Structure 1
Amino acid sequence: MIRPLTLLTLAALAGTAQADGREIDYRVDDEAFTGYFAPADDEPRGTVLIIHDWDGLTDYERRRAEMLAERGYDAFALDLYGQGNRPVETEAKKAETAKLYQDRERMRALTLAGLAEARARGAAMPTVVMGYCFGGAVVLELARSAAAEDVHGYATFHGGLATPEGQGYADDTAPILVAHGGADASIPLEDVTALSRQLEDAGVDYEIEIYSGAPHAFTVFDSDRYQQRADERSWSAFLSLLDEVLPRQ
């Protein structure tokens, strides 16, 4: 379904977002992390927890957090790599994600710690969890674990979709939105089909949107892979999910 787009492009809106957020230093056991908290402009409707891609927490997630704050949500972008760890080279990015893919317990623990920090800083409940690329895979890991309380929805944008052996989805998993590029060479359509079957079998409320011609990382502003049409449609779908699961009181 094609949804109406805003008068300004999302890239333009992101460039004009008010920078009211602030960096948040926090600790998980003996490790230091730095997240980013953007409070809602008005009375918050809830919180969106943002999980970064394989670059680590950068200006991209900060811009998305500000965009959500302007829409009336508290937004917290967590840090899964640790304070000051923002890899630049491709091999370094692969190495950082591999550490967490190989230690799913740590992946979940750091995600839950970020959520706890957001709430400790006053972020409103309930919560929707969303993520990009690697962060999208983390979103689904959290959804399968059912470890987070008061999460009303999940969204993954061009994220990893494969389910590790021995894992699955419970029938009471909160609604899931999957935004996927039809031309994604990193995450094949076979993974999309397999996930759909798993969610159907589990009875999970889900929506999968596939955008024609959109490559992997199609939402990343100012990149060679950015596709405005797919970005705007996927953002509109996400806002629709937020309206559904975090309605105005």
Structure 2
Amino acid sequence: MCYDNDARPPDLPAAGGAAHGQDLVLTSADGTQFAAYTARPEQPGGAQIVILPDVRGLHGFYKALALRFAEAGVEAIALDYFGRTAGLTARDDSFEFMPHVQKLTVPTVFQDVQAAIAHLHSSAPESQSIFTVGFCLGGSLSLLTGTQEFGQRGTIAFYAGLSRQMAGSDKTVLELSTNEKHPVLGLFGGADQGIPVEQVHTLDQNLDTAGVEHEVVIYEGAPHSFFDRKAVDFAEASTNAWERILNFISSYK
């Protein structure tokens, strides 16, 4: 598990503007309804982002994260993965997520991402640049989404599981990273026991092979899930990660 119920994203490195969030239900191309949460800035900055959660799906951390993005001027939508198998039930501590994670497939996640992107397009009076950001499982899915042409401008991944091979895919995330089509920002903890640093270096090399602009950052001593307001020992890394994310979006929007 990546984030627990008490986890919350770190504050922005600078004061943000007003933002408004709401729960909603989207419908994927196969007719599946799934939960999402959208946050809109009072002063849009020309970019939008799809948030791909960890294995628990759409829980409080990601709703709060959507609001932080909106406060920074980036309209955000966080989606839930489990509409096909768990319906629209809550993703609180009582939710047994792993049986549903095991039923995920890459093609259906892509359908949900496309539905989220379509919602972002429909919510803005003018075309804005789309990005994805994901955490743990969501980081892996963000990288996989970056191998597709969904109209996005860039891919951001926190502690993406690189050795993960999901149903509907014939290769690992690391192997498929040579197919990335968009700029990539990868953020990893140097003390993450589940993601060897050697794999992160290989990701960097694979992105060279893919020919996309990229930055892969390893925060020395930082564990998995370091990007958390409660992780005061890693507040400096979290602030730096925010700065890199916002600079990345500003550079490619």
Fold shared by both chains (TM-score > 0.5): yes
Corresponding residue of 1:198? 206
Task: State the Cα distance separating 1:94 from its structure 2 match.
Answer: 2.9
Q: Does the residue aligned with 2:102 lie in a helix, a strand or coil?
A: helix
Q: Is the 8 A contact 1:46 1:73 kept in 2?
A: yes
Q: Is the Cα contact below 8 Å between 1:140 and 1:161 reproduced in 2?
A: no
Q: Determine which of 172, 183, 187 is the counterpart of 2:195.
A: 187
Distance 1:169 1:191, change over 3 A: closer
After superposition, the Cα gap between the structure-2 partners of 1:67 and 1:231, relative to the gap in structure 1 and judged at 3 Å, is: same
Deviations 1:4-40, CA, capped at 9 Å, x for gaps = xxxxxx73559x9856111111222342212111112
Q: Does 1:88 align with 2:93?
A: yes
Partner of 1:4: none
SS where residue 244 of structure 1 aligns? helix
2:113 corresponds in structure 1 to 111
Moved more, 129-138 or 154-163: 154-163
What letter matches 2:136 in structure 1? C
Aligned mates of 2:222, 2:39 — CA distance in 1: 29
Q: Does 1:61 align with 2:62?
A: yes
Residues 160/171 of structure 1: CA separation in 2 closer, same or farther (3 Å cut): closer
Q: 1:24 to 1:121 in 2, by over 3 A?
A: farther
Q: 1:147 to 1:99 in 2, by over 3 A?
A: farther
Q: How many aligned positions are there? A: 231
Tell me which stretches of 4 or more aligned residues in structure 1 moved more than 6 Å.
none
How much does 1:110 deviate?
1.8
Contact 1:162 1:195 in 2 (8 A): no
* CA separation of 1:240 and 1:44: change in aligned 2, threshold 3 A: closer
Please, what is the CA RMSD of the aligned residues?
2.8
Find the counterpart in structure 2 of residue 45 from structure 1: 46
Identity %: 26
3-state SS of the aligned residue for 1:39? Answer: strand
- 1:171: how far off? 7.0
Name the SS of the counterpart of 1:153 in structure 2.
strand
Structure 1 equivalent of residue 3 of structure 2: none
> Do the aligned partners of 2:12 and 2:242 also contact (CA within 8 Å) in 1?
no
Distance 2:17 2:98 in 1: 31
Distance across 2 between alignment mates of 1:156 and 1:85: 25
Q: Does 1:245 align with 2:252?
A: yes
Unaligned runs of 5+ in 2: 1-8
- Equivalent residue, structure 2, for 1:132: 135
Aligned partner of 1:23 in structure 2 is: 23
* TM-score (ref. length: structure 2): 0.80
TM-score w.r.t. structure 1 length? 0.81
Go from structure 1 to structure 2 and tell me whether the alpha carbon gap of 1:187 and 1:94 turns closer, same or farther (over 3 Å shift).
Answer: farther
The one-letter code of the counterpart of 1:104 is V
Conserved 8 A contact 2:57-2:91: yes
- Partner letter of residue 22 of structure 1? Q
- DSSP 3-state at the match of 1:11: coil
CA contact (8 A) 2:10 2:239 kept: no
> Which amino acid in the other structure matches residue 213 of structure 2?
D
CA contact (8 A) 2:192 2:224 kept: yes
